[in-house]
Each structure stands twice: as C-alpha cells, then as structure tokens.
Amino acid sequence: MAGQIFYRERQKVKDGSKTPRFRVAAVSGVDLKVYAGHLRKNELDQLASAVGAQLVELKGGGHKGAHK
C-alpha cells in the first residue's frame, strides 16, 4: 500500500496573498521528514509523487474562534 500525506489549509491565510497555504499534519507509511512550515499545493504534489504517496486533505470543523 502506498503511503499517505495528510495536509490541511492554514487557518490564517488571506485571499489573494502569495504565501503558502497548506501545512502537513501527518505522514503514514512513508519515510519522509518535512522541514518547511507551510507549503504550496504544487510542492505537496511534487513531494507525494517523489515518494509514491497519496495526498489526503483534512477538512476543518467549520467554526471560528475557540470552542468553549
């Protein structure tokens, strides 16, 4: 079975900004160390294809602010 790279969109990203939008949350079944804090989608695609892994996007909870 191919490995999986789990990623999510950053919470504090502004529309139209040219900053990387994604963070790697976890890696399963792949010997991979990620040193970058934030990545672009095409960079994630390149990492996944280089190690033969599948990208899995994590969906957020959909609420803003701290849960009380």
Closest CA to 13 of 34, 35, 38: 38
How many CA atoms, within 13 angstroms, populate the side-chain half-sphere of residue 12?
A: 1
Render pLDDT for 6-28 as a digit per residue (tens, 0 to 9).
Answer: 998 876 656 666 667 888 888 99
What's the chain's average pLDDT? 82
**53 pLDDT above the threshold of 70:** yes
